[in-house]
Structures are given as C-alpha cells and as structure tokens.
C-alpha cells in the first residue's frame, strides 16, 4: 500500500474526525475507494472504536432510483414516492458519533440517466436523514481513482500526486493563516465581490453577513470543518443583491454546467442562465424555496490545490477563488440553536478571483487579484 | 448484465426475502458482488422499500481486526477487547425488516492472518448484534466471483453456470419433495447415521430429535429458510453419542480443514482430530461451551448441486450428503419462544452418504446410499 494512503487515513481519523476510543463510527466506502477504506478500518481498529461500513456506490444508488421510476411508471405517477422516515438510515445516524464518507466511484456520471425530478423528490424525502448525518462528526474525503483522474483530465499517477498535495498538508499552519480571514468576516456586516474581466460578464454582488460567524475550515470537526482536504473560510450570507458570474465549470447531478450567471434581488435568484447545463441548474433552483437563496459564501485558501479538477471538494478550496452556494446554510455560521437558509440542496459555484477582481468587507478591500491584505504585494 | 443476475436478484427479493412495499431492507454487498448488488437495488426500488447498503468486505473486516490486535499489543493485552454493544450495528438490525447478505469477495482467505483468539473474542462481543440480525428476515446468497471459482477449482464461466444451476430452481417443487423428509423427522425421536467405507473411518452416531421441528429449507423466509440456494431439511439435535467422520473438505477461518473426526459422549465432543487444519477446528470447539455440542443436523437434497466447491452455502445442500454443525441451533427447530444450543459459532461439517451408508429414524431406514424411502430404487 502507498504510504500516502495510510497517512491520509490517519489524518482523516485523528485530525479531521477526532475519533476517540469507544466511539461508534460509520464509514461509507465508494466503489473504487476500497484501499483507503482498508487503511481507515485498520486505523479505527487501533483507536478502539466500533465501525460500521456502508457501501457508497453511485451505481447502486442509481439502480435504486431507476427501480423507483419503474414503479412510478407502473402506477402512472409522475414522480416516484419515497418514505421520508427510513427507519434504518435514521437509526444509523442517530446512533453514530462520526461519519466518514470516502468518495471515489468508477464513473462520475454513474447516475446521469436518473430524472432530475426523481432526484429532487428523493432529496426531499431524505432531508431528516441528512440532518441526522450532519449532526454527527462527519467528514467527507475522496480516494484518488481513475474516474476522478479522468474527470480532472489528468493521468492517474499525476492525479494521485494532486490529491495528496492537497490533503497531506500542515493543517495547523493553514488554520493560523485562515484565522485572519475569519476575523475580518466575523467583524464585518457586508461583503461585496467584484470582477471585471474582458472575457466574461462582470460580477458585482453584495450580501449581508451581520450576526454570522465565519468558519475557519481547517479540515477538522474541531474547526466545524467537514471536508478533507479543506482550506477555506466560509460564512452564511443573506439579503444578497446583484449579479454574479461563475466561470469555473462544475458537474451538477452528472450534468456538465458552465458559465452560470445569477441575478439576485431581495436575497433571491430572480434570473439565471448557464452556457451549458442550464436544465440541471434550473432543477437545483426549483428544488424548494431555499434553493434560490445563498447558503454559503466561501473564500478558497488552499494553495496546495493548483488547478481545477471538476470536483467541488477540491475546486472550492483552491487559493484565488471564491464560491457561493445556493441552498442549505451550515448551522456553524449561525448563533447557537439557530439555523440559516433551509433547503434540500447545497450547490457550490466558483469564481476565479486571481485577476481584475476585489472583495471588500464594509467598504474596505480585503483581497485584490487574489492577494490578501496581510500578504506581501497587496494593493488596497 | 447477464439476465441470470437479474433472475437471481428477483428470486432473492421476492421468493427468498418476501420483501413488501414499505419494508426497511439492509443489503450487504461483498467486494466483488457489485453486479448482483446493483440488480438487487433496482428490484428493491421497484418494490417500494427503503434500502441501506452495507459493504461486506473481508479485507476491511481483516484490517479492523489487525488494527485491534495492534492496539492490544500496545496495551500488553493478550487479546483485543471489543465493545459487546456497538450502538450503530445494533440499531441497524433492530430497525431492519430484512437483511440480504450478498457474499463474493476477492480472496476467500482474506483474513488468514487474524489470530483465532481475536476472531473468538470478536465473535463473542458481536453475539447480540448477530442475534438481532437473525431476528430479521435474513437471507444469505453469493454472487459468482473469480475468487469463489478458484476456491472451487473451476473456470469462471463454468462456476457461473454451477451457481445459477443451484440457485435458479423451481423452489416450490423442491419444497414439496423435501416435505417428506420433514414429516419423518417431525414424527421421529432418534436419528442414527452410519457409514462404513473401506477408505475412511466409520461413522456411527445417534442423536435425539424428540420435540424438535425440522425446517423444510426451501430458500425462503416463508419456510424458515435463510440461504439461497438452499435445498436441505434440518433440525436441532441433542444428546449426541458416537463417532462421526466428515470426509468433505471445508474452510474454517481461512484455514483448509480436512477429514474431521469427532467423538461425542453425553452430547458433547470429547475427542477430535483433523487430517489438516486441526488448530482451526480446536479454535472453533474452544469458543464457548455450546461450541462442543451439535446445533444442527441437515440432510442435503438439492440435486442441482453436482459437486463440492469448498463453499458451505452449496456443499451442505448437495444431494447425497448429510451435515452436522457444532454450535448455535436455529430457533425455528425449537418450540415457540424456546432456544436450542447456544454458541457464538455455527460450523457445518459434511459427510458423503452416496455409498455404504444409511440413516435411520427410530430404527427405520429412511435413506440408504443416498436414496430416500420415497424414491425409486430404495432398499430398506
């Protein structure tokens, strides 16, 4: 076994999930993530925890939804019906202390032929399970697979190097750096982001962050951070106004989506377009009321990630980018006991801010052309 | 997809598990059983049930146990300690209506280097989870894999044909035939089995079955039968006396075991030997008190199985064989609310009765040289 697989497993278990003896840990292993699953199981055995292993297979998920579509067809129903309180799934996440999701399937478009209406009713029905899962110490990571390498347009070994450069970092040191950005956001009331590039529509968007707490997302539940890799600072904005253009391509429900343009009025998306995949975008925005409001503003600060790979786990953390998500907000950004924007979806969209751009908090520029105020070469 | 995979899936869901809309079904998919897992998920989606998919990976199980051994070494403990009430696993099986186990790993000896003492303490700690699992409508089957083909000494396509010949049968018709054997055992008090072959030690063993109910194991929970394929009639004997020789090789805890000889006195194994793998056999018998008593007597009646393949799921069902298991008895053989022999293990051992043998119930021969009393050519 590649020594980096073991290092990844130990980082996931100890730094990210903070697993302790006696915990009940649920691990979900994707089709081609077996090797990391094995390394994680060994680490968890050493830590003295109970382990339950789920099979996170996209092909099995797709087959189940296709079967449900066949049933709906037989019943002359427009969309399948799903139980909104599946007893076993609920029991699992109510009993679990931690949930480690190891992605890495065989085909990133494995469920391309599931109707978006089916996905939507399923996502709605599974809302309570999702909430129970997010109440655990959950962490999402991926094992580098050939399918993800292909999605990134990279050779397999090249992609392995890319993943481990992003994952196997000095997280304490990055957390210290990110704390500057968190301080600015915690003290601020309004964020404005502007890009003015010749080759793309302008972005000029403002949002309120008053009363919200930013998360220093250092890839550990101890920082309210649930991705490995991470390396972003994010908060939960509201009252969004203006226009935003997202030039980084992404994949929504197995559909390639490019050049998304959103117009916000009174906190809601009132107009949208996409250069490709507009139908998938429309499906997301129509999921529920909260799907038209922002749930997240994130500032990517992981400079170990040096390129876009069409994987949101990595893309949104890349230095010199910001991202906004429509849909669900994270409770960690709200005062204790309060919840932010509610939705069955959370879809991130990314803008490159390395050039011809600035971000200002309460009128004061904090990042220009990718360089932060506390970095060398910053120009207010 | 091979059409036989879909037929296998539908047989498992409908005939075996009797799944109904609204059920909560847990499916465990082994490493190389993905294809059958996909077909089962689609069938379950069509039936309108909730599905939770576990990853039944032997390599992950082995890694967890090796991790626990490392922890024990660090603590200077002789054997690892395991929680005997793992919250998530218990919650899963308490909430599940049905449990479908799809075997088919990549290496039948995947956990060969786990100490048998570790297996024993782990099996003991997981006793309550196992009992909760057995309180569901559980069914165990396998997907034909290259690893199982190798264990059988067969080519891959040849092995696929073997599996589907055994599985895709007319189960109602076989159930009708097996009902004769069940009637004999239900009416009887004592079973005697004798083999007298020139090339092997004799078997001459008697056991009581008074008050016990035989199971017509027709591969369906509706018959208290939990294996697909099945095709055996079994009961829960006690007060065993005599000697038994098991000439069919088997694998216990990844160790090849051959030519097991057991001597019973007062219902318990008082002497044992094996031509190979005696250590693994000793490990089983030493697990707990119940591991030295018989939990099962089974009569193989599936003539779709035409050879031994070193897989107990198939071998014990083969026509012209009988098997006895040390360890746990099945509740279905006991009066309502009562339990039979209790143990953390259940290990089946098989004798070929096609020649120089007979089985008598209360002194009357019911099978001689493989031929049953109700079949042509039977000689009392």
B262 and B270 Cβ atoms separated by less than 8 Å: no
Q: Which of A80, A93, A21 is nearest to A52 (CA)?
A: A93
Q: What's the confidence (pLDDT) of residue B251? A: 86
Residues B377, B302, B361, B364, Cα dihedral to 10°: 0
User: How many contacts (CB atoms, under 8 Å) link A and B?
Assistant: 161
Is 90 exceeded by the pLDDT of residue A81?
Answer: yes
Q: Are B61 and A41 a contacting pair at CB < 8 A?
A: yes
Q: What's the confidence (pLDDT) of residue A255? A: 86
- Pairwise CA distance, residues A9 & B374, whole Å: 61
Find the mean pLDDT for residues B10-35.
Answer: 98
Per residue in B60-97, pLDDT tens? Answer: 999 999 999 999 999 999 999 999 999 999 999 999 99
Q: Is the pTM of this model over 0.80?
A: yes
Per residue in A189-217, pLDDT tens? Answer: 999 999 999 889 999 999 999 999 999 99
Per residue in B264-276, pLDDT tens? Answer: 999 999 999 999 9
Tell me the nearest-neighbour CA distance from A138 into chain B, angstroms. Answer: 15
Q: Is B67 on the interface with A (CB under 8 A)?
A: yes
Q: Which residue(s) pair with A227 in the sheet?
A: A140
Q: What's the confidence (pLDDT) of residue B284? A: 93
Task: State the complex-level ipTM.
Answer: 0.89
- Pairwise CA distance, residues A286 & A123, whole Å: 12
Within chain B, residue ranges assigned H as helices are 3-10, 34-47, 58-74, 87-95, 116-125, 127-134, 146-152, 156-167, 171-187, 278-285, 312-315
Q: Is A224 on the interface with B (CB under 8 A)?
A: no
Residue A295, helix vs strand vs coil: strand
Which tokens hold the place of B118? 């570790």
Q: How far is C-alpha B56 from the chain's CA centre?
A: 17
Is 80 exceeded by the pLDDT of residue B253?
Answer: no
Q: Which residue(s) pair with A98 in the sheet?
A: A25, A137
Tell me the nearest-neighbour CA distance from B207 into chain A, angstroms. Answer: 40
Q: Are B26 and A88 a contacting pair at CB < 8 A?
A: yes
Query: Which residues from chain A sit within 8 angstroms of residue B58, using beta carbons?
Result: none
Per residue in B193-208, pLDDT tens? Answer: 999 998 899 999 999 9
The H or E element containing residue A119 is helix A116-125
Is 90 exceeded by the pLDDT of residue A254?
Answer: no
Per residue in B29-69, pLDDT tens? Answer: 999 999 999 999 999 999 999 999 999 999 999 999 999 99
Per residue in B105-149, pLDDT tens? Answer: 999 989 999 998 999 899 999 999 999 999 999 999 999 999 999
Q: Are B34 and A43 a contacting pair at CB < 8 A?
A: no
Q: Are A41 and B51 a contacting pair at CB < 8 A?
A: no
- Pairwise CA distance, residues B230 & B220, whole Å: 9
- Pairwise CA distance, residues A15 & A6, whole Å: 13
Find the mean pLDDT for residues A224-231.
Answer: 96
Is 80 exceeded by the pLDDT of residue A243?
Answer: yes
Q: Which of A84, A345, A118 is nearest to B50 (CA)?
A: A84
Domains of chain B: 3-167 (3.40.1830.10), 171-372 (no CATH)
Per residue in A256-282, pLDDT tens? Answer: 899 999 999 999 999 999 999 999 999
Rounded to a whole number of angstroms, the distance between the first and last alpha carbons of chain A is: 49
Per residue in A283-312, pLDDT tens? Answer: 999 989 999 999 999 999 999 999 999 999
Tell me the nearest-neighbour CA distance from A298 into chain B, angstroms. Answer: 33
Find the mean pLDDT for residues B239-264.
Answer: 93
Q: Which of B29, B30, B57 is nearest to B41 (CA)?
A: B29
**A window 25-64, beta carbon within 8 A of B:** 26, 29, 31, 34, 37-39, 41-48, 50-55, 57, 59-61, 63-64
SS (HEC) of B70-100: HHHHHCCCCCCCCCCCCHHHHHHHHHCCEEE
Q: Are B41 and A61 a contacting pair at CB < 8 A?
A: yes
* pLDDT-above-90 percentage for chain B: 93
pLDDT tier for residue A252 given thresholds of 50, 70 and 90:
confident
Q: Are A71 and B47 a contacting pair at CB < 8 A?
A: yes
Better pLDDT: A16 or A254:
A16
């Amino acid at each position: 076994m590649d020594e980096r697989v073991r290092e990844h497993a130990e980082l996931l278990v100890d730094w990210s999930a903070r697993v302790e003896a006696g915990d009940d840990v649920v691990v979900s292993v994707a089709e081609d993530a077996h090797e990391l699953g094995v390394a994680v199981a060994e680490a968890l055995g050493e830590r003295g925890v109970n382990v339950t292993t789920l099979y996170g297979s996209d092909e099995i998920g797709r087959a189940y939804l296709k079967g449900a579509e066949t049933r709906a067809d037989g019943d002359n129903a427009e969309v399948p019906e799903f139980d909104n309180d599946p007893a076993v799934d609920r029991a699992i996440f109510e009993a679990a202390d931690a949930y480690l999701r190891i992605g890495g399937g065989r085909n990133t478009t494995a469920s391309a032929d599931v109707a978006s209406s089916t996905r939507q009713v399923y996502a709605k029905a599974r809302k309570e399970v999702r909430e129970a899962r997010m109440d655990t110490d959950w962490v999402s990571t991926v094992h580098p697979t050939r399918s993800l390498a292909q999605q990134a347009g990279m050779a397999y070994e090249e992609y392995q190097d890319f993943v481990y450069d992003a994952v196997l970092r000095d997280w304490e040191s990055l957390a210290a750096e990110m704390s500057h950005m968190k301080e600015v956001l915690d003290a601020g009331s309004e964020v404005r982001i502007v890009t003015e590039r010749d080759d793309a529509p302008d972005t000029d968007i403002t949002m309120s962050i008053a009363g919200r707490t930013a998360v220093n997302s250092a890839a550990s539940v101890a920082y309210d951070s649930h991705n490995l890799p991470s390396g972003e600072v994010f908060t939960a904005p509201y009252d969004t106004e203006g226009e935003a253009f997202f030039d980084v391509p992404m994949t929504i429900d197995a559909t390639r989506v490019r050049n998304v343009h959103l117009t916000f009025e009174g906190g809601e998306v009132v107009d949208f377009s996409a250069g490709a995949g507009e139908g998938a975008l429309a499906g997301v925005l129509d999921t529920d009321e909260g799907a038209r409001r922002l749930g997240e503003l994130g500032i990517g600060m992981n400079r170990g990630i040096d390129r876009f790979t069409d994987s949101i786990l990595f893309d949104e953390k890349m230095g010199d980018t910001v991202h906004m998500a429509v849909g669900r907000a994270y409770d960690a950004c709200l005062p204790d006991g309060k919840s932010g924007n509610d939705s069955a979806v959370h879809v991130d969209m990314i803008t490159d801010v390395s050039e011809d751009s600035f971000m200002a908090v309460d009128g004061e520029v904090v990042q220009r052309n990718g360089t932060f105020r506390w970095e060398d070469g910053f120009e207010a």
